[in-house]
Amino acid sequence: MTGGRRKGRRGQLRQDKALLEALSQVLSEQEMQRVLGGALLEMDQAGRRRLIKRLGKDTGAALQQVLEPEPGHKQQRPGKDKIRQGWKRLWGEWNDCVFESSSEDGRYVIQDEHWEPPYFDSMSLAADLEPIAARMRELIPRVVDEELDPEFSFSGAIEEADAEIGSGLSEWIDDPEGCGFGQQVTTCLLEWEWRVGQRAGRDPFEIVDSICNLDSSLRRAGLDGEAIARFVRALGEPEQQVILKGIAEHQHTDPWATVLREPRSGWFALHQELARRLDTDQFLASCRANITQDWELALPPVKDLLGRKAFDEAQSLVEEAVTALLQLSPGETWDPRQGLLIQHWSQQHWMESKTTRVQLLKAWRRVAAGLGQEDLACALELQAELVTKWEDWDAALKAFRKAEGSACAAVCSRLFSDWCERVSVATVGRVDGWVLGLADAAHRGDTALFHEAVRGWLGQVESTPDDLKRSRRSLETLTMMVGGSRLKQAAPALWRLISDRPEKKGKLAESLRQWIKRLRGHDLFPEVLGLWKRNAASLVPDPAQTRGSHYGDCADWLAVVHDLDRQAYTLILRDWSERHRRRRNLWEAIKQRRLPVEVTP
């Protein structure tokens, strides 16, 4: 643009500004809009074209598509200044959220109760940034391709946000969740850097490498690994090949040397996904190198070795995986012939899928069979069945009978004892005689054996008051299972009390009920009820030991005694009327159960 044209343009701008200032002094915003619309509509074609020329290339082009739309073009394309304005506004919203995170009085510092310490709610911050980033994504192609913000760096914005988040908070304000940028923010960053990188001639690995370096340098807010994997997954295979090759070439230098030793990281998952499809040798090598940190990584290389009948090498990897799975100490081993996997302390409360454990055990069984270790192979086949079926008694017992028919009867006996203990603890919280007896009788199909075991257990439980109290939960479970509806009729107060306990549900409870029915356990109900009648009085809590004047439990058990042993009820009432006559809340609780409070002579 020549000097004369620049001066002309500046003169026009001064005239426009002066006119707008004058109009703003006498017209409202609504009137200004009416004037603008009216002026444009009243112009002839020549006047509109002079106006478009006067406004300059970008603004003029935006106005022209409104005043002179092309046929078939219903959607109008925002002008460059409109995009710049929207881009700037979104970053203003972003900065407001980040700035708010540094204020102890801001909305991201939460105190649930006045006596609890406040904490930083980074999850809410991440959630607030997501819709902002989603709107940014719509603008990124225009902003980058048309260079509407040439000095901007998305990586720089992420670094600044990471440094700013929570920076003004006291050290004692905790961040229990840990901060992380969500999928929209991470995808925004990726799309920006990819477009900018391509314009600059950078190859795919260079772009991904810069993102990995950025993620590794962030202090508080990491990137979303799944968003990164999804982005790379959507690329073409040639680009993915370049990325995988670059990772392989840089695997011994940071940040790749670090992230490739962290199997739970998104970058490790990305590498594994690419290598699995594009470079099997690299994939298997990565799996082998990280078994100690994630035992499931042993499965692919073990499968490969089994396919090549390399049993010795496969056994070494299996042992390494088992050590990691069971968190064994150096030199410690686990023998599947000596105890069940489901009984090992490290497996008692696992939350992950059971499928991979079954896969490991089955792979180990194939290794043992290939090495001629018949008893070990038999034990491992049984172990694999019980990982998922131990609560289903029919399936578990079927697996034991099948294993006993092979050459490992002694192994089966040990594992059966382990299984009995597991179902007992899962049922009543301890290893108890009647559950063990039920399991043994179910295995043998022997009704008399079960009845004998229950009677022996009842006698043991009744031998001392302490034994009875320790076994009360187990006794309650047995009573509900053998009593059924008869308990409600014979001892309504006891039924109300123990039926309020959390009901046993699921496959294990269903199996117990089925086998009690098959082994005629309901015939034992009179004997079980007899134990309650003889001992209910000893289970009534002492009001003197009750805290806070809450006597509901005392009254509930007194109601049980009233149903089962009226003489004992009278003796307790007489004793309480002397020792606890001033405990008004106690007597009120007894009256609420509609129990007699008059002591008979």
Query: Domain limits of the chain?
Result: 3-71, 317-431, 443-538, 542-592
**Residue 11: its pLDDT value, please?**
61
What is the token pair recorded at 208? 């991904």
Least confident of 159-168, 215-224, 402-411, 535-544: 402-411
**Residue 208: its pLDDT value, please?**
96
CA distance 207 to 190: 9
**Residue 284: its pLDDT value, please?**
97
- Residue 120's H or E segment, with its range, is strand 119-120
pLDDT of residue 310 exceeding 70, the answer is yes
Q: 384-395 pLDDT, tens per residue?
A: 999 999 999 999
**Residue 52: its pLDDT value, please?**
64
Is residue 189 within 8 Å of residue 232, measured between CB atoms?
Answer: no
What is the token pair recorded at 54? 């006067």
Alpha helices in 218-329 (DSSP H): 225-233, 237-249, 256-259, 266-278, 280-289, 299-307, 311-325
Residue 437: pLDDT band (50, 70, 90) is very high
**Residue 248: its pLDDT value, please?**
95
Instruction: State residue 174 phi and psi, 5-degree precision.
Output: -85, 155
119 DSSP β-pair partners? 110, 174
Between 38 and 370, the higher pLDDT residue: 370
pLDDT of residue 34 exceeding 80, the answer is no
120 DSSP β-pair partners? 109
Is residue 146 within 8 Å of residue 205, measured between CB atoms?
Answer: no
CA distance 164 to 152: 18
CA distance 161 to 168: 13
Q: 196-244 pLDDT, tens per residue?
A: 999 999 999 999 999 999 999 998 889 999 999 999 999 999 999 999 9
Mean pLDDT of 52-60: 62
**Residue 59: its pLDDT value, please?**
64
Between 21 and 490, the higher pLDDT residue: 490
CA distance 447 to 432: 18
pLDDT of residue 63 exceeding 70, the answer is no
Which residues neighbour 150 within 8 Å (Cβ) at sequence distance 6 or greater?
A: none
Mean pLDDT of 93-102: 92
Q: Which amino acid is at 187?
A: T
Mean pLDDT of 130-141: 94
**Residue 157: its pLDDT value, please?**
94
Which burial class, exposed, middle or buried, applies to 169 when counting CB atoms under 10 A from its CB (0-12, 13-18, 19+)? buried
Mean pLDDT of 456-477: 90
**Residue 352: its pLDDT value, please?**
67
pLDDT of residue 45 exceeding 90, the answer is no
CA distance 19 to 237: 59
pLDDT of residue 318 exceeding 70, the answer is yes
- Look up tokens 């509407």; give the residue: 148
Q: 524-553 pLDDT, tens per residue?
A: 999 999 999 999 999 999 998 888 778 899
CA distance 394 to 385: 12
**Residue 269: its pLDDT value, please?**
94
User: What is the pairing mode between strands 109-110 and 119-120?
Assistant: antiparallel
**Residue 247: its pLDDT value, please?**
96
**Residue 504: its pLDDT value, please?**
67
CA distance 557 to 539: 7
Please give the share of the chain, as a percent, with pLDDT higher than 70.
Answer: 88
Residue 61: pLDDT band (50, 70, 90) is low
pLDDT of residue 10 exceeding 90, the answer is no
Torsion of CA 367, 369, 375, 379, to 10 degrees: 60
CA distance 326 to 47: 83
Q: Which amino acid is at 23?
A: L
